[in-house]
Amino acid sequence: MRSASLQTGRRIAVSLEPGDDLIGSIADACTRYRISQGVIVTLSGAFRDVELIAAQSPSADPEPPLPDSVHIPYTEGIGSGTVTSDADGDLVVHVHLAVGRKDAGARGFAGHVLTAEAHYVVEIVIDEVLQPRMVRTPSEQTWGLPTLDFSETTEATA
């Protein structure tokens, strides 16, 4: 486990228009307000189309990351995530959503967002993180997936 006490700065709210791209819009809002890292406290809304890393059927081995993605049309859901910067200073938006498909009795899907298009109402709240620096570091323990880590003043590692 890794943990750190976060020193937060500003809080911004983002409201997407129909057709807006979720990941790109979060990155654009952070760029506009010069936020290089933050926590997506919450996001909720309706999506025209969502692509998640997920599976339509049970996996033969649930231990490794899923190799597939699914497209789910016309959903409503809620999520959260983080915004970090890569070595080049480009923003990396990491979001997970739990969504229910509107035309399938709210059949649920959850996972890492690859793409998501706003349908009508999508609202997002982002807290800027001033310290420590948040980075994504791949690890053998996580099958090479980059996970959140903290540089400078890391308080606890177990």
Domains for the chain: give ranges and CATH numbers: 8-55+66-133 (3.30.1330.80)
Distances (CA, A) of 121 to 29, 66, 77, 83, 144: 17, 29, 11, 21, 35
- Would you say 78 and 96 are in contact if contact means Cβ atoms under 8 Å apart? no
* pLDDT at residue 157, as a whole number: 45
* pLDDT at residue 31, as a whole number: 96
Whether the pTM exceeds 0.75: the reply is: yes
Please tell me the distance from the alpha carbon of residue 68 to that of residue 54, in angstroms, as a whole number.
6
Whether 153 shows a pLDDT value over 50: the answer reads no
Residue-wise pLDDT for 27-70, tens only, equals: 999 999 999 999 999 999 999 999 998 766 666 666 555 567 88
Q: DSSP string covering 26-59, please?
A: HHHHHHHTT--SEEEEEEEEEEEEEEEE--SS--
Whether 116 shows a pLDDT value over 70: the answer reads yes
- Would you say 135 and 151 are in contact if contact means Cβ atoms under 8 Å apart? yes
**Residue-averaged pLDDT of the chain:** 87
* pLDDT at residue 106, as a whole number: 73
Please tell me the distance from the alpha carbon of residue 25 to that of residue 48, in angstroms, as a whole number.
15
Mean pLDDT of 105-129: 93
Whether 9 shows a pLDDT value over 50: the answer reads yes
> Which residue is listed with tokens 């997506």?
40
Whether 23 shows a pLDDT value over 90: the answer reads yes
Mean pLDDT of 89-109: 90
Model confidence band, residue 104 (pLDDT cutoffs 50, 70, 90) = confident
Please tell me the distance from the alpha carbon of residue 88 to that of residue 20, in angstroms, as a whole number.
25
> Which residue is listed with tokens 């819009």?
25
* pLDDT at residue 58, as a whole number: 64
